[in-house]
Amino acid sequence: MERLRENVARLGFAVDVVVADALALEPQDHDAVLLDAPCSATGTIRRHPDVAWTKAEADIGRLAALQAKLLDHAAGLVRPGGLLVYCTCSLEPEEGEAQVAAFLARDPRYARVPVRPEEVGGAAALIDDRGDLRTLPCHLPELEGARGGLDGFFASRLRRAD
């Protein structure tokens, strides 16, 4: 969190950095909330091959249940018109695309705000047909003198309507 605070200060952003149990936070009216949810980390297997042995299929279901609770709670932290960004470093649809679809079905106050290619350096291939960001290891080819590959990552930007 110290590195986050340093980067926020360096960039001149006005951000409240809070370290707390997210499920214990009282409802608030934030302009934006970033929920970087705990996940299986299967998107980092390229750099952390031990993930294949330290995670089990049951972990995905357990983590997906926690993510749903966190999403539902985070929804109450965002002011009307504000943004909720949900992300994970997982390749599993249950922790990404399916998680957001289930949340949107539960909470009609929210709708997707599609990511635009210019927001990701023009890399339209990183944006799925719903407007969510999905990176895969194949999205960065190897270049001479440098290893290629990106971590698997998912992010969805949601706006609260009411």
Return the amino acid letter for 1: M
Burial class (CB in 10 A: 0-12, 13-18, 19+), 137: middle
SS3 of 79-102: the string is EEEEEEEEEECCCCHHHCHHHHHH
- 45-50: long-range contacts (C-beta < 8 A, 24 or more apart)? 45/91, 45/152, 46/137, 46/149, 46/151, 46/152, 47/151
Query: Does the active-site annotation cover 138?
Result: no
Tokens describing residue 16:
């409240």
Alpha-carbon span 112 to 157, nearest angstrom: 6
Residues whose CB is less than 8 angstroms from the CB of residue 25 and which lie 6 or more positions away in sequence, other chains included: 18, 73, 77
Provide the terminal-to-terminal Cα distance of the chain, rounded to the nearest Å: 31
Q: Would you please indicate which residues are annotated as catalytic (active-site) residues?
A: 89
